[in-house]
Chains A and B, each alone.
Chain A
Amino acid sequence: MTTEHREAAPPAPSGGAAPRLDKKTTRGSGPAPDPAREKRRAERRSRRYRWDVKYSPYGFISPFFIFFIAFGLFPLLYTGWASLHQVSLLRPNEMEWVGFENFTRLWDDEFFWKALRNTFTIGIISTVPQLAMALGLAHLLNYKMRGSMLFRVAMLTPYATSVAAAALVFSMLYGRDYGAINWALGLVGIDNIDWQSGDWSSQFAVSSIVIWRWTGYNTLIYLAAMQAIPNDLYESASLDGASRWQQFRHVTLPSLRPTILFTVVVSTIGATQLFGEPMLFGGGGADGGADGQFQTLGLYLYEMGWVNRHLGRASAIAWTMFLLLIIIGLIYWVLSRAVSRSSGQED
């Protein structure tokens, strides 16, 4: 790309400002140009032009990197440094070196393991149905139909809703005594369920908020990818007598593989960092229910740092989450290589 640009816009030997020179001559009003000065100017101009071509791309991307260093890299490193210390939130500048104790203690920390387990189960029961539903919905939306734009916009509205508003509505729906869901269940003779107290019921409830918010987003991503699949594939498949389902399985799914992998990665990262939904579902507390039954890693980190005020321990949890994501990322990377190799063989 860059070489193309350089070739496309070479500095004209007479200086890059030919049009202006033109104007001057047509008007004929300016003083006669001094050739030596003109030459220096032209040199300066072309030098500037070279610098412009050479360095301005860096200038244009630098805002991202400046912001990344200030708000991404620095906090990351600082958190890593803090995780090796005993630090109180109230006196963040007084650190006491403890080495890796904040990490090793996590090994025996039943609450950490519980939060990890919860994060995992909530991640599974929110991500899997969410992506499956998104795939199905995208397939349906891909058909020619009336008002498809309306459906697409409707799909995206939950994504545009704030977590707070969504969680508030859902925690009302899932209320024990006065919630709409229990009321509906009562109509068919099922007793009130205390959604928030049970292990599975609370995790199911939190997952349902996640599913509601993110299904539409993934649907649109799948839909975009589906529309990029060349129509001839479907035509030749139908000529071969493939049914709609067979078309979906043998044409759509293989073509979507990279997209599916992408959504799985994004959802996994989201699930690992899940925070707002369980917090607001529990009424704003960081304990994730009386028994910590829906406390995720994100909530545990927050509770440790901002409720119990142990910033060092919270930093260690944050870094553990980060390392966990790196491991998950590596697994996906290996998987994606395997996937692309196998799809390459199919082609």
Chain B
Amino acid sequence: MRSTVRSNRRPMRRTHRAIALGITATLATGLLAACGGDDSDDSADGQVTLRVGVFGEFGFEEAGLYDEYMELHPEIKIEQDSITENGDYIAQLRTRLGQNSGLSDIQAIEVGNIAEMTGELPDAWVDFNEYDVDTSHFAPFKVDQATDADGRVIALGTDMGPTSICYRADFFEQAGLPSDRESVSELFAGGWESYIDVGRDFKENAPDGVAYLDSAGGMFNAVVSAYEERYTNEAGEVVYQDSEAVQTAWDLSVEVAEEGLTDQQKQFDDEWGRAFANSAFATVPSCPAWMLSYIRDHAGTDNEGKWDIAQSPAPSNWGGSFIGVPQAGDHIEEAVELAAWLTAPEQQAKLFTERGMYPSSTEAQQSESVMNATDPYFSDAPIGQIFSDAAAQVPSSPIGAYDQVIQEGITDGLLLVDKQGESAESAWDNVVSSLDNALAE
């Protein structure tokens, strides 16, 4: 017995050592690779690899644009890094821009973050004017948003989010209101006050357990976005406390909250998503093009054909993105060329028909495939027509580096009114003190 154990021992030990060595080697190479990760990654045959950093389902890959480009340019290889949440994505992008390392050749920028890039970090980005990229086909406000104080265009628009009002035609009918989209648009045409008036009528005869709209925060967003000056003025100063837009939007949102017209939701919470599946409300006052797929996914096939889309009394832009080329990249020229191609009218039109991302290029908006688009889920609503009408009315408002923080602070305040029954005055005081704290350097 003993001798067999002995004889077994040596090879055992050797394998142990081999394993230990293997682990050490793997760890070491892993670490070294992690340290030197952003070195040039071109293959020997002169092929250039371009990395594109995006968040969420950005659509480029899903719509097959990379494959198309690689076919047109065999010398280019495109790889995409995607992070699901923009919150995580932007935190990483900020850190990397701060350190000027680890950046992809092209980076996506959400509209909520474009102002901090033009305002605080314009030099980290390539100026597309220098490379003679044609920006005349974009909606003017989209170019304005990506232009810094020196007139450099640091990013190109991908999609935008012209808003409509999404509503449940079946609930409107049950409440004794007109339900076809022309008449409903007509009902709202007088402005947000008329939208709320319709809500009062709706509440009188509403089907059981169905609120008029989802959230006070959604109401606020719908109203405030249609103004030219919101949180930040032309000079870049924070003016939310005195701005007419914020005051009007706050008052109207408090109105719907206090009258019990909302389902007391917080937008983009899990519960909000589930409320779609459970048909808990009849309208979404600020319903941009990209939200259609969110509603479709969450409301599910059971509710197909029940939703419809009406014109907003004051359309605005909510969301949409940009792509920029960081100065730190190794292949700036190739990246600029790819960025220009990805945002060209043809590709934007394709993103709309394939992925429902509404083009920020006016030329793409007027293309036939976009104009004639309809959405079967939303009772065959002519979404191309509706959103291009809305896009034409989107104001060009100055956006500030802290707009997102301010909007989130105000939405939190409205939640206090809507869900916790706090008075509007004390909720507003809360908003101001929390934003004072958040904005203090």
Query: B-facing mask of A171-194, CB < 8 A → 1, else 0?
Result: 110011110000000000000001
- Taking the complex as formed, is A152 at the interface, i.e. its CB lies under 8 A from any CB of chain B? no
Given known A-B contacts A92-B99, A283-B269, A291 and B420 have beta carbons under 8 A apart? yes
- The answer to whether A175 and B98 have CB atoms under 8 Å apart is no
Chain B interface residue bracket vs A? 35 or more
Task: Tell me the bound Cα distance from A310 to B437 in angstroms.
Answer: 11
A-chain residues with CB within 8 Å of residue B275 when the two chains form the complex: 177-178
- Among the 9-residue stretches B248-256, B313-321, B331-339, B407-415, the one with 4 or more Cβ atoms under 8 Å from chain A is B407-415
Given known A-B contacts A111-B434, A307-B405, A90 and B420 have beta carbons under 8 A apart? no
Contact of B98 among A89, A177, A178, A303 (CB under 8 A): A89
Total A-B contacts with CB atoms under 8 angstroms apart: 76
Task: Tell me the bound Cα distance from A310 to B319 in angstroms.
Answer: 25
- The answer to whether B405 and A194 have CB atoms under 8 Å apart is no
- Among the 9-residue stretches B87-95, B170-178, B189-197, B387-395, the one with 4 or more Cβ atoms under 8 Å from chain A is B87-95
- The answer to whether A284 and B271 have CB atoms under 8 Å apart is no
Query: A-facing mask of B104-134, CB < 8 A → 1, else 0?
Result: 0000000000001000110000000000000
- Taking the complex as formed, is B438 at the interface, i.e. its CB lies under 8 A from any CB of chain A? yes
Task: Tell me the bound Cα distance from A287 to B412 in angstroms.
Answer: 9
- Interface SS, B side: helix
- The answer to whether B439 and A308 have CB atoms under 8 Å apart is yes
Contact of A90 among B120, B408, B434, B437 (CB under 8 A): B120
- The answer to whether A197 and B438 have CB atoms under 8 Å apart is no
Interface residues of B in 74-88 (CB under 8 A from A): 85, 87
Given known A-B contacts A91-B121, A197-B419, A287-B408, A175 and B270 have beta carbons under 8 A apart? yes
CB distance from A166 to the nearest CB of B (A): 14
Measured CB to CB, the nearest residue on chain A to B409 is A287
Task: Tell me the bound Cα distance from A309 to B401 in angstroms.
Answer: 10
CB distance from B70 to the nearest CB of A (A): 33
Task: Tell me the bound Cα distance from A144 to B314 in angstroms.
Answer: 73
Given known A-B contacts A89-B94, A89-B95, A291 and B416 have beta carbons under 8 A apart? yes
Task: Tell me the bound Cα distance from A308 to B116 in angstroms.
Answer: 11
A-chain residues with CB within 8 Å of residue B438 when the two chains form the complex: 303, 307-308
- The answer to whether A309 and B94 have CB atoms under 8 Å apart is yes
Measured CB to CB, the nearest residue on chain B to A89 is B94
CB distance from B438 to the nearest CB of A (A): 5
Task: Tell me the bound Cα distance from A335 to B116 in angstroms.
Answer: 50
- The answer to whether A177 and B415 have CB atoms under 8 Å apart is no
A-chain residues with CB within 8 Å of residue B412 when the two chains form the complex: 287, 290-291
Measured CB to CB, the nearest residue on chain B to A283 is B269
Given known A-B contacts A90-B94, A178-B278, A291-B430, A172 and B121 have beta carbons under 8 A apart? no
A-chain residues with CB within 8 Å of residue B268 when the two chains form the complex: 283
- Taking the complex as formed, is B433 at the interface, i.e. its CB lies under 8 A from any CB of chain A? yes
- The answer to whether A178 and B120 have CB atoms under 8 Å apart is no
Given known A-B contacts A194-B419, A197-B419, A91 and B98 have beta carbons under 8 A apart? yes
Interface residues of A in 270-326 (CB under 8 A from B): 283-285, 287, 290-292, 303, 306-310
- Which 9 residue pairs of A and B lie closest in terms of their CB atoms, listed nearest first? A290-B415, A290-B412, A92-B98, A308-B438, A178-B274, A306-B91, A197-B419, A90-B120, A283-B269
Q: Could you list which residues of chain B lie within 8 angstroms of chain A, going by C-beta atoms? A: 85, 87, 91, 94-95, 97-99, 116, 120-121, 266, 268-271, 274-275, 278, 280, 405, 408, 412-413, 415-416, 419-420, 430, 433-434, 437-441
Q: Could you list which residues of chain A lie within 8 angstroms of chain B, going by C-beta atoms? A: 86, 88-93, 109-111, 171-172, 175-178, 194, 197, 283-285, 287, 290-292, 303, 306-310
12 contacts between A and B (CB under 8 A): A88-B120, A89-B94, A175-B274, A177-B274, A177-B278, A197-B419, A283-B266, A283-B270, A284-B85, A290-B412, A290-B415, A307-B438
